[in-house]
Amino acid sequence: MACVADLLRVEHLTVAPAANPQRLLVKDVSFALAAGRTTCIVGESGSGKSLTALSVMGLLPPALQRFSGNIIFQGNSITGFSNAQMCDVRGKRIGMIFQEPMTSLNPVLTVGYQIGEPLVAHLGLSGKVLQTRIAELLERVGIPPERAGSYPDELSGGQRQRVMIAMSIACEPAMLIADEPTTALDVTVQAQILALLAELKSRMNMGMLFITHDFGVVADIADDVLVMFRGEIVESGSVTDVLSSPQHPYTRALLDCVPDIEGKKPLKPIDYSWLNEAVV
């Protein structure tokens, strides 16, 4: 049952390698995301957080397969969409930002051209209208519009990520998926990019699905949190609840690993053998 208020609803999503359906990489994952809200998926490498996001966009690697589950976006089930239909969703109604701004941008095309690509492909803009829109987008992400003629290598890491953000919001998508967008950046730049994303989210009333392994980033940007462990959501709730009174043993263990700024809390690595017993 799709609730109209939800922008995105993922129901019982299961992903496994096509060759080995027993090895579940994402197990029965369900969650919902409303417009104007940010949901963070947090977990360690291999927890299935990126695969969950890729499934939503229909971009799973060919060796992996979605074995069950339904993904409902703006009231429509997009799981049955053809590739052509998905192309209309991706980049237009769902924007995407990835971790590494250098590898996600084409080094031989100017950033202005690359920001214009989705505008040409999805909205058919051209000429002066296109140039004006590119300048507007650059300005909105805090880059002087004159830089439209620059190539990616002429920009700093933070500026490249701003270009990626400009591309992803070019068609004013209803939802933004950000997969570790600040992991490769310096802390001060990270803080700027997080502030920019939060501002754009509220101004454009986007729903944001934000993937990270950093609880500090979660604290800064999330409204709701999903904690994933070995392909399953082990805990979900509002950011205050999850961070201040975590219920699941894995969430507690993961939070105990995070060094605090006061340096008072002793670091406690996860004892997986204990966790296995606690979870079962």
Residues making contact with another protein (CB under 8 A): 44-45, 157, 186-191, 194, 213-220, 243, 253-254, 256-263, 267-270
What gap in Å lies between CA 169 and CA 84, rounded to an integer? 21
Choice between 169 and 217, CB closer to another protein: 217
Instruction: State in angstroms the smallest separation of the CB of 44 from another protein.
Output: 4
Choice between 172 and 260, CB closer to another protein: 260
What gap in Å lies between CA 262 and CA 129, rounded to an integer? 52
**172-204 burial by CB neighbour count: b if 16+ within 10 A, else e?**
ebbbbbbbbbbebbeeebbebbbebbeebbeeb
Instruction: State in angstroms the smallest separation of the CB of 131 from another protein.
Output: 26
Instruction: State in angstroms the smallest separation of the CB of 188 from another protein.
Output: 4
Please state, in angstroms and as integers, the Cα–Cα distance from residue 157 to each residue in 35, 107, 117, 236, 265, following that order.
29, 13, 21, 32, 33
Choice between 87 and 198, CB closer to another protein: 198
Instruction: State in angstroms the smallest separation of the CB of 191 from another protein.
Output: 4
What gap in Å lies between CA 8 and CA 235, rounded to an integer? 19
Choice between 96 and 254, CB closer to another protein: 254
Choice between 86 and 219, CB closer to another protein: 219
Put residue 26 in one of left, alpha, beta given phi > 0 → left and psi -120 to 50 → alpha: beta
Instruction: State in angstroms the smallest separation of the CB of 198 from another protein.
Output: 12
